[in-house]
Chains A and B, each alone.
Chain A
Amino acid sequence: MPVVLHGHPGPGRKVKAVALVASDNFSARYDLDRQKGVFSRPGHALFGQSYVGKVLVLNTAKGGVASAWMIREMVERGISPAALLFNRVNPILAQGAAFANLALLDRFDGDVTKLITTGDELMVEPEFGRVTIL
């Protein structure tokens, strides 16, 4: 039986992909090697793991404003996550996702990093603020 989670509607298109989850925060500039498509910050819970094509499920955004440009760059080079799910984002990730037309949702009914497990197959529908664990 699929489980349906509800968050705040956000930008981007409907997408189906596998989840990569951590109770950690996120910045494209601070945390990623955007050439290799992996988390490169040694202290990050997902250090060394590939984020390409995954639905990234994390706590919140951190740090600087560069992610707003970087998300589109990653999307256009085909080394981006498939979607971003957060408990609460800052404006930068929302602006970046809108600019890149990448699916983004936040403000779920519970802690989304606990509701979803790495490896879950997800259907993300940003227009409706809906995530289905298939």
Chain B
Amino acid sequence: MRINDEEEAMLAGEMGEPRRWAISHQLEVGRFFDAEDFVPVTQAHIMGDTESLGESGVTFLEELATAGVQDRRVRIPTITDPRGLDLSTYRRLKQTETMVRLEARASAALEAFGVLMTNTCINYQTVFPATLGEHLAMGDTGVVIYSNSVMGARSNFEGGPSALAAGLTGRTPRYGYHLDRYRRASRHIVVQEQPKDLSDWGALGGMVGKLANSYWEVPVVDGLLAVPTSDQLKHFGAALASFGSVALFHMPGTTPECRKIADVVEGSIPEAVTITRNDYDTFYAAYAARGEKVDVVVFAAPQLSLFELQQLADLIGDKKIHPETSLLVATSPEIKQAADRMGLTGRIEQSGAILLSGVCFYQSYAREMAEANGWKRLMSNSAKLINIIGGYGYLPTLGTTERCVASAIKGTIV
């Protein structure tokens, strides 16, 4: 892998220990993927919740942050994914003081690097959208797939250590989705049944993800009759990345690199796989539990936009959540403040629901919350969350936004 004089200086430790560690880590990853050189990036986005960091990750950050200020400051805007807990709600969710202390240590260390604590997985809707062709180092698979596909930016999945490294060096190894040749469509999906609710968009993403089933596959998804909204593509992409580990999709006429299929195909168009109503039914049926008691209904993964919060407030109206069911809603700190100001928080929480800020359910010690609160059956309109949460001991059910609200009110799955 070729490195220039500045990268050589970082590797020699001439620009401080944090940058020496960072470039050394990036070189090892770059060599594994046969990268020829580095590419400058304009933003980095770090997953740094303490449930994934653990004591080990927090200690690593603290030790690296002991370097002098000049040596440890990130060189490009570097932001964070959701945290492990929300200080204003953690007691109600029975999260512990130990978690709070670890979270505070992680935040202090990240801030010492000059990281901006945005605590969001919808930064593309709320902080600073990427532009066509912009090279990035984004953590959170949902952020990567949205940035790559909907905005035409260029990023690989960057785990926490690698995203921090990119922030410190201002670059990342040039492999995968930074390169034109990896951005060609390799799978062709035709949608016959149009998705309606956000949960349908997630289900569609899940189905395409299962078909693609690899980080290195790029589906082109055709047959959609209307131009999707940002929230619809958010749920579609998040589920596609979750079920298939996919980092890029194309939609003719919607995504910027694909006005028509021929734009993203080299040679002949791959044979089409059709998705029908029956496929949606089968997908939902795998998680069905009609009539069963529901312990917790969750709107998260990705965090909700302002428009999603408004829809939720409208669906809830003046009704109350069933006393034996919890309703949790997660959004970003910026959108939470907007929701407070516009009266949406009050309208949602009058029902007994909790609006969480700067967290996401599965990154918030989901296993410990289940044990502390006696939660087992979880319902959500997020296919991504449904896919993840089984590993934490929950029994997940996917439902439309409307059915999720109705179930939270009734206390059983409708």
Interface residues of A (CB under 8 A from B): 8-11, 25, 29-33, 40-43, 60-70, 72-73, 76-77, 88-92, 94-96, 98-99, 104
Contact = CB atoms under 8 A, between A and B. Distances in A.
Contact residues on B (Cβ < 8 Å of other chain), bracket = 35 or more
Contact of B29 (A41, A61, A94): A94
Contacts of A29: 52, 362, 388, 391
Contacts of A8: 32
Contact of A92 (B60, B159, B391): B159
Nearest to A77: B56
Contacts of B56: 69, 72-73, 76-77
A98 B25 contact: yes
B391 A91 contact: no
B140 A65 contact: yes
Given A60-B214, A66-B52, A95 B161 contact: yes
Contacts of A66: 47, 49, 51-52, 159-160, 363
Is the contact region of chain A dominated by helix, strand, or loop, or is it mixed? mixed
B390 A72 contact: no
24 contacts: A30-B387, A30-B388, A30-B390, A40-B391, A41-B390, A62-B244, A63-B245, A65-B159, A66-B49, A66-B52, A68-B159, A68-B162, A69-B48, A69-B54, A69-B159, A70-B52, A72-B161, A73-B52, A91-B215, A92-B159, A95-B161, A95-B162, A98-B28, A99-B159
Given A88-B214, A88-B215, 12 more contacts: A11-B32, A40-B393, A41-B390, A60-B214, A66-B49, A67-B159, A73-B52, A90-B215, A91-B29, A94-B33, A98-B25, A99-B25
B213 interface: yes
Given A60-B215, A65-B141, A88-B214, A73 B54 contact: yes
B51 to A, nearest CB: 8
A10 B160 CA distance: 19
A60 B213 contact: yes
A30 B385 CA distance: 10
A95 B158 contact: yes
Contact of B47 (A69, A88, A99): A69
Interface string B33-60: 1000000000000011101111111001
B283 interface: no
Interface string B126-168: 0000000000000111000000000000001111111000000
Given A73-B57, A90-B215, A94-B29, A65 B388 contact: no
B216 interface: yes
- Interface of B: prevailing SS: helix
A62 B213 CA distance: 8
Nearest to A39: B391
A40 B214 CA distance: 22
B176 interface: yes
Contacts of A31: 391
Contacts of B216: 88, 90
A31 B391 CA distance: 5
A51 to B, nearest CB: 13
A73 B159 contact: no
A60 B245 contact: yes
Interface in B199-245: 213-216, 241-245
A99 B161 contact: yes
Contacts of B244: 62
Nearest to B368: A35
B393 A62 contact: no
Q: What are the 5 closest A-B residue pairs judged by CB atoms, nearest first?
A: A68-B159, A90-B215, A73-B54, A66-B52, A41-B391
B390 A43 contact: yes
Nearest to B163: A65
B215 A96 contact: no
Nearest to B362: A29
Contacts of B176: 91
Contact of B52 (A11, A69, A77, A90): A69
B162 A91 contact: yes
Contacts of A65: 47, 139-141, 157-160
Contacts of B245: 25, 60-63, 90
Nearest to A43: B390
Given A40-B393, A70-B54, A91-B158, A63 B388 contact: yes
Contacts of B60: 72
A70 B48 CA distance: 11
Contacts of B57: 69, 72-73
A23 to B, nearest CB: 12
Contacts of B158: 65, 91, 95
A95 B29 contact: yes
